[in-house]
Chain A
Amino acid sequence: MLIEVKGLTKRFGDFTAVDSINLSIKEGEVFGLLGPNGAGKTTTLHMLATLLKPTDGIALVNGYDVVKQSDDVRKSIGIVFQEPSSDDLLTGYENLRLHALMYGVPQANLRKKIHEVLELVDLVDRKDDQVKKYSGGMRRRLEIARGLLHHPKILFLDEPTLGLDPQTREHMWKYIEDLVKKKKITIIITTHYMEEADRLCDRIAIIDHGKTVVIDSPEKLKSELGGDIVSMKIRKPNLKAIGKLRYVKKIDRTNGVVLLTVENANKNLPEILKTIGSVESVELHSPTLNDVFLHFTGRQLREEQAEGGFWERATTYKVRR
C-alpha cells in the first residue's frame, strides 16, 4: 500500500472536521475523495501532505509517517492546491525554477526538467509570461506541472477543476488522463463533481461529515444500487402498493419527487406507472454517482455549493503590494 491511513482524525476546537478515517491506496491508482463542501476532504489532504497535524490516528504516505517523517513525505509527494499558489509576479518558468530549487533538483538538468513538464501541460510558449497574465486554466496547468517537477510518487489534486468553465474542465481531464498513462503516477483527487470522480477515478471514497461512508470503484458502487433509477413527479403517490412490488429495491421521496430503484426498469415501468397513481412526469436513467451518494447519505450532492474556490481567490487577491 502506498498510502495507509488508520483512524485519522482532525478536530478544530469542538468541531470534528475529519472523524477517524481509514484508507488504503495502492500504487498506480487514481483515488478520489468525493463529498460535499466541508466534508473534510481538503483537511484530509492537508494532513496527508504534512500541512496539518492530525489530532489522532496514523497516516503513512509512501511508507513514511506524516508526523514523524514529514520531510520524507514531502519529498515523495506533489500537491496542487485548491487555490492558486504560484507567485503571479514571476513568470511560469521562474515559478517552476523556484520549485525545482526548493526540492533540490540538480542544477545540471534543471532546464531540461522544466521544459519537460511545460511540454506536458502545453505551456512552453507562455513560459516567459508573468503568471498574472495567465487564465485560470493555464494557471492550474502550471501548478500541475509544478507538482510533477520533482518526480513525486504521489500527486495530490485538490478540486482540480473547481471554478473552471466546462471546456477548460474537459481539457483538464484529458491532461490528467494523459498523465496517468504517461507517468504511471498515483493520484489522489478531491472533488465534489460526480462526473469528475466517475471519469477519472479507479476507486472513490465517499466522505460526508468527516467520515468515509463507502469506498469502492464507481462501477461497483453504481451496480450496488441493484437497478435503474425511476424518478417521478407526483402529488399523491400510492407508495403502499409500490412497496409490494418485488422488483422495487428502494423508495426515496424528496419534495414532490419519488425516486425508485428498480430492477429491469424497462420492462417493469408500465406496471409501476399503473400502480402509483397519476404521474406528472417520469424519468428513467441508469444510476449515476449522484444516486450513489443519495443512496448512502440520504442527501443530494449539489454541484453549485462550492464557494471560495479557485476563481474567487484568483480574482480577489490579484492586487497586492
Chain B
Amino acid sequence: MSELSGLYAIWEREFKVFLREKSRMVATIINPLFWLFIFGGGLGSSFSVGGTNYQVFIYPGIIVMATLFSSIFYGAYIVWDKKLDFLKEVLVAPLSRTTIFLGKVLGGVTDALIQASIIMLIAPLFGIGFGWNLALIYLVLFVLITGLVSIGLIVGSLMESPEGFGLIISFINFPLFFLSGALYPLDNLPTWLNVITRLNPATYGVDAIRGLMLGTSEFSIMFDFILLCMFSLALIVIGTFAFRRMKL
C-alpha cells in the first residue's frame, strides 16, 4: 500500500513543481510554435506534400517534437534532485526503486501531455479536427512519451551535472526529431535514410498521430502502436534497472 501512495506522492510533487515553474511550460510551448508558423509557414507557402498543405503536414510532427524535447529534457530534474540532495530523501524512503522510477515517469508524462494539449488547442487554425480520434491520439502520445521520458531519466540517472546531461541529450534529441518523418514524408527517402528512420521509435509516433489526425500514414496505426508499446516497455525495464544501480 505504501508503494502506491509513494508513487502518488512522487507524481504529486513533480506536478506541483511543474505548475510552479512557469518558465518551463512557456519555453516548451513557444518553441514548437516557431517551427509551426515560421518554418512551416515559410516552406508551406512554396510547396505541399501529396496535396496536403505543408504546415498541416508537419503539425502532427511538431506535436511529437514538443513532447519529445520536453520528455527527454525532463531527465535533467533527476540530476537536479541529486544536486539538491533531495534524491537522498527519496532513496532513503522505504520504497522500491521501481516505484520511484515509475513515479518520476508519470510526472514527466503529465508535463508532456499538458504541453501537447496546449499545442493541440490551435488545431482548428489549420482546419484539423480530431473527433473521437482524440482519445486514441492521447493513448499513442501516452505510450510514446512514457518511452521518451524513460530515456531522459536513464541518462539523468547516470549523470552528475546538469551541464553534462544537456550535452548528452542534444545528441539524442535532434537525431530523434530530424530522422522521424516529422518534417518530411517517408515514401521517397534514399535507402540509408529510410533505414535509419525505421529504426527511430519517434517515427512510429509521428506516423500514428499523423494517421489519426490527417488520415494518411505510412504504416498501419496498429503496427505503429504495437512498436511504440514494445519501445516503451523495453525502456521502462532498462530504466528500473538504471535506477536500481543509481548511486548518490
Contacts and interface: CB of A to CB of B under 8 A. Distances in A.
A103 B2 contact: yes
B165 to A, nearest CB: 13
A51 B86 contact: no
B13 interface: yes
Contact of B92 (A50, A90, A313): A50
Interface string A51-63: 1100000000000
Interface stretch (B16-24, B127-135, B149-157, B195-203): B16-24
A15 interface: no
A61 to B, nearest CB: 12
B80 A102 contact: no
Contact of B77 (A51, A86, A102, A321): A321
A102 B90 contact: yes
Contacts of A103: 2, 93-94
B86 A85 contact: yes
B43 to A, nearest CB: 34
Contacts of B16: 89-90, 94
A90 B13 contact: yes
Contact of A51 (B6, B9, B83, B91): B91
Contacts of A313: 85
Contacts of A49: 92
A317 B84 contact: yes
B8 interface: yes
Interface stretch (A76-84, A163-171, A191-199): A76-84
Contact of A98 (B12, B20, B88): B12
A260 to B, nearest CB: 45
Contacts of A51: 88, 91-92, 248
Contacts of A101: 5-6, 8-9, 12
Interface in A277-321: 313, 317, 320-321
B121 interface: no
A125 to B, nearest CB: 21
B95 interface: yes
Given A87-B13, A90-B13, A104-B5, A74 B93 contact: yes
Given A90-B16, A94-B16, A321-B24, A104 B1 contact: yes
Contacts, number: 87
A25 B5 CA distance: 33
A15 to B, nearest CB: 16
A300 to B, nearest CB: 30
B80 A71 contact: no
A72 B94 CA distance: 8
A87 B2 contact: no
A84 to B, nearest CB: 7
B28 to A, nearest CB: 13
Contacts of B8: 101
B163 interface: no
A320 B163 CA distance: 12
A317 B162 CA distance: 12
Nearest to B77: A321
A125 B10 CA distance: 25
B17 A87 contact: yes
Interface in B1-57: 1-2, 5-6, 8-10, 12-13, 16-17, 20-21, 23-24
A151 interface: no
B241 to A, nearest CB: 17
Nearest to A88: B84
A312 to B, nearest CB: 12
B92 A321 contact: no
B187 interface: no
Given A103-B94, A104-B94, A86 B89 contact: yes
B220 to A, nearest CB: 41
A233 interface: no
B17 A89 contact: yes
12 contacts: A79-B92, A81-B85, A81-B88, A81-B89, A83-B88, A89-B21, A90-B17, A103-B2, A104-B2, A321-B17, A321-B23, A321-B80
Interface of A: 49-52, 71-72, 74-75, 77, 79, 81, 83-90, 94, 97-99, 101-104, 107, 146, 313, 317, 320-321
Interface of B: 1-2, 5-6, 8-10, 12-13, 16-17, 20-21, 23-24, 77, 80, 83-95, 248
Given A94-B13, A101-B6, 19 more contacts: A81-B89, A84-B85, A85-B85, A85-B88, A86-B89, A88-B84, A89-B16, A89-B21, A90-B13, A94-B16, A97-B9, A101-B8, A102-B5, A102-B9, A103-B2, A104-B1, A104-B2, A313-B85, A321-B17
